[in-house]
Chain A
Amino acid sequence: MTPNRWNFPDLGYGIGLRSVHFGEILETNPPIDWFEIISENFMDTKGRPLYVLDQIAERYPIVMHGVSLSIGSTDPLDLEYLRKLKELAARVRSPWVSDHLCWTGVHGQNVHDLLPMPYNEETLRYTIERVKAVSEILERPLVIENPSSYVEFANSTMTEWDFLARLAEESDCGLLFDVNNVYVSSFNHSFDPNLYIDAIPHDRVVQYHLAGHTNKETHIIDTHNDHVIDQVWELYRRSCALSGGRSTLVEWDDDIPDLAVVHAEVLKAKALRSQTATAVGGAHGD
């Protein structure tokens, strides 16, 4: 197994914390290893969501995952946002804080979407500086997630995986590797997802995301509304063979089923990873 660069703990198999499951989690203490929260959902509220989060944080590890950092935006960094992010991270003892390689708006506006960037030297240099600045403010390495995207820019001069690998190395950030996003983008942009998997610096991967999506035939939308498909499981297995496995989480954000269904989905990852470990161990043993 390749340890991650910061020795962040392997938290096991978690699910995204969603309000429809609050009651059941508090009442039944399900045997889920950890939960991931959408940071922005808890940064301003002083009501029930924060009350529930505090209770769940007493019982389970919590990891914060944001959607509004807008690391790729040409707007200045929002320092008030970062202050609150850091405050929440301390409150829930989040071992790392992640967000996406994307921009969410400019000119002070937020379109609340994870918009892609052109991948070239200019945007790489710019993003590296922003990641470094955020890590310094948060006083911990920022963990960046590969996005799913529906457009490609004519002025991109490198692949997303090359961009991400260089960003991670040169800004010293961690990676949240969303295997479903790799699959979605590979379909939308016609590349071989295995190339992406193999090119990622696995010592920098600290977490995996898995999710379902919606295939519109001409393109795939990253809807997080269904089970993980077999091809994505295969990509996950391939990546785990390279990384040795990391904290893994299933995201389910639309048509959210019972907690048990989401939990069962992430436990498939556990089974797959133990098979991978056995296979890898066997190969070395022989």
Chain B
Amino acid sequence: MATSVALAKMQSWMQTYLVHFGTEEEALSDASRAVDTSVEEAAQYILPTKDLTAIDRLEIYRVQYLMRMTDALKIDFYGIVDYLGEDDFERLVERYVQKFPSRNYNLDRLSDHFPEFILQDEKLARREFLHDLARLELAVVESFAAENAQPLAVETIQAVPEDAWERAVMHPMPGFRLLSFHYPVNDYIQAVKDNTPRPKARRQHSWTAVYRRGYDVWRLGLERPAYELLSALVSGVALSTAIDQAAARVSKKGMEKQIFQWFNTWVTQGIFQKVEY
């Protein structure tokens, strides 16, 4: 299929203009440079109307571009919007889509690089906190879209022979995500959801499991030992080894009961898909 050169040139020019966040003059200048033509010549690609200049008409698309990108990210990162406010969030989106424009037919994928960009964005204050927050919000988005599967039934666990537990390996559900943070971001998100006073963004380790039960996504706050045990389990470490490792890190007193309670919660919450032995 032969590519139309004139069409290709017009599309490069128009796209460069539409995704530009500078002034009209800057956008026009960069767009013209992109197709190696003069500003005057390029400005004649579009016809004016009696009420609107050619640039006024192009601006309709340019304004909508930023709105569309902002609206798409707002849905996924409502915690970030809450912390920054609408205006600063929009400025963040402007900077983000310049570095990571959408390259997929699915607008949902625009979120993919948002956490990593936040960490790199020098114009942003409290980057580490916002990075943690964005990671948690992205994990929820990923969990929502993940493949569905049947969670492991309690009866299946009960049917595992006693001598097999030593080598038993647990497999998490496709929508499961386990995260470690420098800030209490799960508490922050919950406060946003409940519209209660937000916790201060003070440095404090926290751990969260994100998982899907049926088609609903849940966030489960964890203590460090529980996180480490769960982390070992989902990375393929055999159950008995993972428990031994976890037990070695915490006080032995009451540990067995505690581990049983954690494990029971994780199974009944549908975090695991299968046990292999």
Residues of A whose CB lies within 8 Å of any CB of B are 40, 43-48, 51, 68, 72-74, 78, 81, 103, 105-113, 115, 117-118, 122-123, 126, 129-130, 133, 150-155, 188-190, 218-219, 221
Contacts and interface: CB of A to CB of B under 8 A. Distances in A.
A48 B145 CA distance: 8
B7 A151 contact: no
A70 to B, nearest CB: 8
Contact of A51 (B49, B58, B148, B175): B148
Interface stretch (B82-90, B105-113, B188-196): B105-113
Contacts of B68: 112-113
A126 B6 CA distance: 11
B61 A106 contact: no
Interface stretch (B8-16, B117-125, B220-228, B266-274): B8-16
A51 B215 contact: yes
Q: Number of contact residues on B: which range applies?
A: 35 or more
A218 B244 CA distance: 72
B61 A151 contact: yes
Closest 7 CB pairs of A and B: A68-B105, A48-B215, A218-B51, A74-B8, A46-B147, A150-B60, A45-B145
B261 interface: no
B102 interface: yes
A46 B108 CA distance: 13
Most chain-B CB neighbours within 10 Å: which of A47, A74, A106?
A: A47
B60 A219 contact: yes
B45 interface: yes
Interface of B: 1-4, 6-8, 10-12, 14-15, 18-19, 44-47, 49-52, 54, 56-58, 60-61, 64-65, 68-69, 72, 101-109, 144-148, 174-175, 212, 215-216
B176 to A, nearest CB: 13
A74 B7 contact: yes
B60 A106 contact: no
Nearest to B56: A218
